[in-house]
Structure 1
Amino acid sequence: MIYQRMSVGRATLWAILAPYLLLPARLSVDLPLIPPLDKSTIPNLAAYLACLFFKGKHVTLLPKDRMARWLIIIYVASPFITALNNPEPIIAGPIFIKGMALYDALSDVIRQLLFVLPFWLGFAFLRSAKDHEDLLMIVAFAGLLYSLPMFFEVRMSPQLHTWIYGYFPHSFAQQMRDGGFRPVVFMGHGLLVAFFTMTSVIAATALWRIHRKVGFFSGGQATLYLMVLLVFCKSMASLLYALALAPLAAFAKPKNQVRIASAMVLVALIYPALRGWDLFPSEMIHEIATSYSAERAQSYDFRIKNEDMLLDKANQRPYFGWGSWGRNRIYDPVTGRDLSVTDGRWVIVIGQYGWIGLFAEFGLLALTILRCARTLRYCTSKRESIILGSIALILGINLLDLIPNNTMIPWTWLVAGALLGRYEQVFYKQRSQSR
């Protein structure tokens, strides 16, 4: 319906974002050969098929940029090698995880293809300055709409997922904070809701700067309202992100916005390397955290110890990892109890697909931001530059947040594809004209 009523760009934005906001969390359909289908894969496939059959649009799979092309190939193909390198089972007490076979190799490749589909869709159909402005508008407008169930759950506790889908997708205790509740709605966890709200704040701030309304609200009114909503989400990290980035989106030069986004990207790339080489000053940070808050220090120490355990196992197969089915996790050799807690996306990827898999995934996302510096040179208006810089900030903080959390969602890939698509459109057009 949305592809019949909207342009292909707007329809794709809604087709990827709306299911993430509305479909049930932690529910999947497991079919033969293909990986389990859930809210992170079904919308991608649906949007791709709609573009292909309803709009008759061809989706380019490989960009012209040579580095991006190789990173995509490695991202899709490396799980095949991972599966072939893990034929033996894992046995820990009563736990038996079968070895990986050709069937699993094909399944993992299909899963990577489904995950990266939004990147290709964004690259193909969100290449213009107007498309990027629509991207910010839809994120901000979706934040305003989503505020209604969010405020309901702040007051009544997270109940909507249980009432509508029949189960609660996570620990209810984790959603209780400061004598109240974090809203969860249909995302699965209050931290994900807070991060989405923070993204909406940045988008609304950018729209306020270019004097664009968000629905019936001015950009400034939408920004203020969403910031108040973010406070009720009770997530310190997302609130700090918003307090740091909203002024940048409102006042900083686009060139500086891209520089700061690039700096966040470099931190996201350097941190795993420092942890892998045991060069990160974990003990010093723990001492600082202890002087600030014993509870924060304990949480940080727990996270670091888990990362150390997972890294030790990952480094037993450093290049292509241990594969899927929980083979990357740590199990008690007697009881079989799972001893690991995987929070950060980076440590999950290293355990499953090794350092090569991490290089492909993080490298591809980082490249789209680093290319923004070139894109800015060919922007034809200040309005376009502001929009590009704000989107770079949004993707940059998303990539940085993959260090402590697993906030990788289809929307992340869609935004990355949109940035690379815009880069290729303006850069190669300019280069062809200069010849």
Structure 2
Amino acid sequence: MTGSASERIISPATRVFWDRSFADRRALFEGLRQRSPIEFHTETDGPGFWSVVGYDDVLAVSRNPEVFSSAKGFTIDDVPVEILEFAMSMIAMDNPRHQHLRGIVQSAFTAASVRGIAERVRGYAAQIAADLPRDTVFDFVPEVATRLPVQVICELLGIPERDRPMILAAAADVISGGGDQEFVTAPGGAAGLGQIYGYALELGEKRKADPGDDLTSRLVSTMVDGETLTPTEFGSFVILLITAGYETTRQALAWALHLLSEHPGQKELLLADFPGHIDNTIDEVIRFASPVPYMRRTATVDTEIGGAHIAAGDKVVMWYLSANHDERVFDDPDRFDITRPNAGKQLGFGAKDIHHCLGVNLAKLELRVMLEELFTAHPGLHTVGEPELLLSAFVNGIASLPARAGDRP
């Protein structure tokens, strides 16, 4: 390993970096971009890692999986091999194994497949919007942002209504790192992982014996090259779908309301032509907020990027939050603009590489439909206070968001 750490630079893997406002977090990343496209940071309990903060360099790492591997983990923290094997699914694999498993599950997430469930999603969203209290302050995160993705994913998997509170609690445990830490740089929660995994194995066995019209039944029976998912592969995929699919979508919904409320002119523009602006609005929300701030790779050989010499075995962290605010790609990147012509270049779902988000079509459908139903039923829906941000480097999220619904825009 080569590189030098500087005490003057705040590492993005530390609490002091994230225990501040969103604007200040972005400013720290701006400082890193201006200093160097790639910087080495030490770790208290680890060998250290390289931070990649520029857009082009993030692309270069993402799109070169032979040199920058996912198989040793996707988080800054090193995860035991046994945890990677059962809990992290395709996201912690390289080809050809990754390609094989993705081939089995990806048919359920194509644009055509997602269109097939659009009306069901709209029904859930309409009910959520109808349930909102009028002219009373409520917390948007549990009342709206959490409800839709949990409902959609559980419905897709065929998880009965009675089991969904347990699934939600287990997913929250994983995302929070187990709930016993004030600051986290990675998901965790052994109890939550174990609950979801065990439940998935039982559900898979039930659907093998008695198939239904749900994703679980399809996944346990679909064959590619004469093979189906093993129980371990199915269980780990369910963990990925429930945790990643739930958390990223709910955070994007919360950020969407926060940003549109902070920029009322942008909200007016959206409501004046919702069909014409909503897709670009979603891309701009994802760009601006970057709910998933980073992913990690590990160098397989000695290499160089951004002028830095990286040794085989070094951890390389791609900071999407920084890349999505790279001023060399996005003009005035701290301006929230739903008409931004290149908002679609955002890397919030990945870099169109082999690990590009499998559920991107589903996530965009949920965001599009939920926002439409909300603003149709409550044109005056807006936040009434500052968001409470999660203290996490792995999820750039909103823990609580006070809001008020009403008829008037």
Global fold match (TM > 0.5)? no
Instruction: Select the structure that is richer in helix.
Output: 1
- TM-score w.r.t. structure 2 length? 0.32
- TM-score w.r.t. structure 1 length? 0.31
Instruction: Select the structure that is richer in strand.
Output: 2
